[in-house]
Amino acid sequence: MALFVAALVQGATGFGFGLVGLGILGVLLAEFADASVVLAVPSLALTGSMLWRLRRRVKVDRMSPLIVMSILAMPVGVLALKHARPEGLYVALSLLLAGAVVQQAVPRLAGRRWHPLWLGVPCGIFSGLLSGAFNTGGPPVVAYVTSQRFDRFRHVGVLALVFFLFNVARIINLVAFRMLTWRLVLPGLAAVPAILLGMLIGMRLLTRMSDRVLRIIVSVALFLLSVRYFYLAFF
């Protein structure tokens, strides 16, 4: 049920599976790290299915800077997990997300696309660092994709592509560090049918909402995430 709800959210908005799923499973399971690993295979199945269904809407132009910088920064994030304090990263990410919210709220700014290098590079760096350190690299990606003014189907399709690539890289790292055990893989595999059902219902909701409604939902989510990361930095 937890992953069904998380998949429904992602199907409708293009993101949220990891945040919602981890938020619920983190309470249900004894070990927070176990909850994170359980999501690995379901996340790959979900994003792969969404990417296939929206493949005709996916265009990689304007996405290269973000994808390249994310991949380059991911190993640095793994090292940061072992040796660095995350507070500075949280503050910087909070400000970046707040800037994305302001860009959506001001009509003059919302009507234009942000340059893929000027915004794609910092968003890619933050996404790679967060993916490597905390497995939560989605917020910077969502902020960047929102700034490009894609229609709602391309918006969700591009997010599916980026998150699919992240999930592949994450599983490779989990296997390399021997963290992806059958004890944690099997619950995720058992939940795949419910996840696919939630995705289909969520994507049906996507067809019924306008681009404006989707941008409002995403802006509210980015604002709440900005507040959350600012809170984590100081409390």
Mean pLDDT by 10 residues, the chain (235 residues): 91 86 71 77 93 91 89 79 64 77 70 79 87 73 88 92 88 83 91 95 93 87 85 80
C-alpha of 34 from chain center: 19
Q: Are 165 and 42 in contact (CB under 8 A)?
A: no
**Which distant-in-sequence residues (6+ apart) come within 8 Å of 52 by Cβ?**
none
pLDDT of residue 95: 80
Task: Report the number of distinct structural domains present in the chain.
Answer: 1
Buried b (16+ CB within 10 A) or exposed e, 107-139: eeeeeeebebeebbbbbbbbbbbbbbbbbbbbb
CA separation, residue 155 to residues 94, 95, 104, 117, 147 (Å): 22, 22, 15, 18, 10
pLDDT of residue 147: 85
Is the alpha carbon torsion for 31, 230, 140, 102 positive or negative?
Answer: positive
* HSE value, Cβ hemisphere, 13 Å, CA-based, for 85: 6
Task: Please report where in the chains the tokens 């219902």 appear, as a residue.
Answer: 201
Token pair listed for 109: 């700014």
pLDDT of residue 83: 59
Count Cβ atoms below 10 Å from residue 158 Cβ, excluding itself.
25
For residue 41, what are the domain limits?
2-234
Alpha carbons 47 and 57: distance in angstroms, whole number: 14
Count Cβ atoms below 10 Å from residue 190 Cβ, excluding itself.
11
Instruction: Give the global pTM.
Output: 0.81
CA separation, residue 109 to residues 105, 118, 181, 218, 227 (Å): 8, 15, 47, 16, 22
Task: Please report where in the chains the tokens 């983190």 appear, as a residue.
Answer: 26
